[in-house]
Structure 1
Amino acid sequence: MTNGQWTVGQERGHLLTEQANPNSQNLDQLSPLELVDLFNQEDARVLEAIAGARLELAAAITRTAAALRQGGRLFYVGAGTSGRLGVLDAAECPPTFCTDPELVQGIIAGGAGALIRSSEDLEDRAEDGSAAIAHRHVTELDVVVGITAGGTTPYVQGALQAARQRGATTIFMACVPAEQVSAQVDIDIRLLVGPEVLAGSTRLKAGTATKLALNILSTGVMVQLGKVYGNRMVDVAVTNTKLHDRALRIICDLTDLSREEAGYLLERSGRRVKLALLMHWTKLDQQESDQLLAQHQGNLREAINALKK
């Protein structure tokens, strides 16, 4: 390591993610059922890895939610599978939580083309990671999550270094222990799933653990921001038939309204589930409900409780 970055071409065989798994040494001799059983056995390590990082994940949720409340943004940065997972999680936030597409963004080495075609050679350019941070005008209000299974990806290291220099909150998410690859970041998340069934193929356990961690991080942040009521996605974007049906079911489940009445209420609210619920429970009109929600940063429960006082 040099200044927190990995030297291209340096030996990586000692990394946990590159080691051979003793449980799969006869992988090419297994029957299909034996293969499935082995994968199932090894994938159990993923949940253990998430549990082992629970405190760091909780800290990441707290720091990120605080940053977004202050007008910051959340960026995921990665290459290959790690980058694709970050882009996927970011892309799911607008339909699930009705967030602005700019609020949570995925940055992948190679750009959009790398989502469908391998461009792993581009991960070796730390300067490109730094340039991506500069291009998005990252500031001290923002949070940058560097995702790299093996911890050594220069593109991610370059992005994190640039983010630190700009004062952003930095989070590192890797599947190797800190003694193998250190990281100078605010929150260091290690998802230690052990060697892969297919040696070095980090799209397997490492990818699964990363997907789970990102699910927890983004959903946890949105819960903290008041975009969930109970366990319902009350900020769901009603943009297609499936989501319209979900919106109606949420309203019906949380109120005594029929589906027809819920549909009428949803339209009156401008197809905003959270606003529709507040209008129904408080008997306020759309404008008054909107103002009340704004006073409580969009938190439905806080808005309702405020009227009870």
Structure 2
Amino acid sequence: MTRITEQASNYRHLEKMSVEELTKNLNKEDQSVPLAIEKALPQLNTLINSIVSKIENGGRLFYVGAGSGGRLSVLDVIELPTTFGVSSDLFNVILAGGKEHLIEAPEEKEDDVNAAWMMLQEKNVSAKDIVIGISASGTTPFVLSALTECKKHQISTACIVSNPDSPIAEQADIPVEVITGPEFITGSTRMKCGTAQKIIFDMISTTTMIKLGRVLDNQMVNVKLINDKIVDRAVKMLMKNTGLEDYNQAKELLLEHGSVKKALDMFNMEK
């Protein structure tokens, strides 16, 4: 395989650049990320369709990752129960070192070839689920071993990698290869690779939730009512969709049923 993520930066003598030069060049490099993702959209679409199908049939999604990619997947997953009102075990993260050590960045744990499969077993992973490996290099032992074991147990696998023809992609049923090129600082895959991963996580979760019916029009109608700002937003959503003009009446209806979707369904039933 070609380790593009380890190739030398296209820029030299960064320490001699001004702030203006650094930000201009960083911005220029970041503009290549959406173009790299665009090339991988057919594979990404296949993956999302598979995720939706698995969840509709009672399965779950598991991200397996280490380092920046693994941590970014945690940030995406923790938002979903509030934003879309889904169970917290629908999207899961198996993180090298454990999510409880998220801020400690225990990078040495990415070489553990036994931990990921053990952690998946603790979550009772099965053939109903789909497991997605995250690795910029495409070689992370923690991730590779997990996909290898999943394959042995007929569990669907996918991956998000940034090098072509990697060992992890070889173990994945649906490999998503997003080739973002050499990093601005040589080998620092928290940069373009990380940006690509964050965008892809957003695309996966958002598209999946829309296809699962958790969005109406362009609105978060299943958002959890966890603070005053969200309650106010939800009341206004309910007013817009019902035609109710009295804010307090709409708020009472919302709080009685617990979500815009449930309140709207009840309102339409009683019309």
> Is residue 130 of structure 2 the alignment partner of residue 143 of structure 1?
yes
1:198-221 Cα distance to aligned partner (Å, 9 max, x none): 111111110010000011001111
**Does the 8 Å CA contact 1:133/1:163 hold for their aligned counterparts?**
no
In the alignment, the residues of structure 2 paired with residue 114 and residue 56 of structure 1 have an alpha-carbon distance, to the nearest angstrom, of 32
In the alignment, the residues of structure 1 paired with residue 166 and residue 148 of structure 2 have an alpha-carbon distance, to the nearest angstrom, of 19
Q: Partner of 1:209 in structure 2? A: 196
Q: Partner of 2:106 in structure 1? A: 119
Q: Partner of 2:20 in structure 1? A: 33
Task: Tell me whether 162-171 or 186-195 shows the greater mean CA deviation.
Answer: 162-171
Aligned residue runs from structure 1 range 1-309, under 5 A: 15-22=3-10, 24-178=11-165, 182-258=169-245, 259-269=247-257, 271-283=258-270
**Does the 8 Å CA contact 1:88/1:106 hold for their aligned counterparts?**
no
**Does the 8 Å CA contact 1:251/1:262 hold for their aligned counterparts?**
yes
**Does the 8 Å CA contact 1:80/1:114 hold for their aligned counterparts?**
no
**Does the 8 Å CA contact 2:138/2:166 hold for their aligned counterparts?**
no
C-alpha displacement at 1:245, in angstroms?
1.8
Secondary structure class of the residue paired with 2:120? helix
> Which one-letter code corresponds to 1:187 in the other structure?
I
Unaligned runs of 5+ in 1: 2-13, 285-309
C-alpha displacement at 1:79, in angstroms?
0.4
Count residues with an aligned counterpart: 270
**Does the 8 Å CA contact 1:15/1:180 hold for their aligned counterparts?**
no
> Which one-letter code corresponds to 2:5 in the other structure?
T
> Which one-letter code corresponds to 1:264 in the other structure?
E
> Which one-letter code corresponds to 1:219 in the other structure?
T
1:58-105 Cα distance to aligned partner (Å, 9 max, x none): 111111011001111111110011110111111111011111111111
Percent identical residues: 38
Secondary structure class of the residue paired with 1:130? helix
C-alpha displacement at 1:283, in angstroms?
1.8
What TM-score, normalized to structure 2? 0.95
In the alignment, the residues of structure 2 paired with residue 219 and residue 182 of structure 1 have an alpha-carbon distance, to the nearest angstrom, of 24
**Does the 8 Å CA contact 1:138/1:166 hold for their aligned counterparts?**
no
1:178-236 Cα distance to aligned partner (Å, 9 max, x none): 26864221211011111110111111110010000011001111111100111111111
In the alignment, the residues of structure 1 paired with residue 158 and residue 7 of structure 2 have an alpha-carbon distance, to the nearest angstrom, of 25
Unaligned runs of 5+ in 2: none
Secondary structure class of the residue paired with 1:159? helix
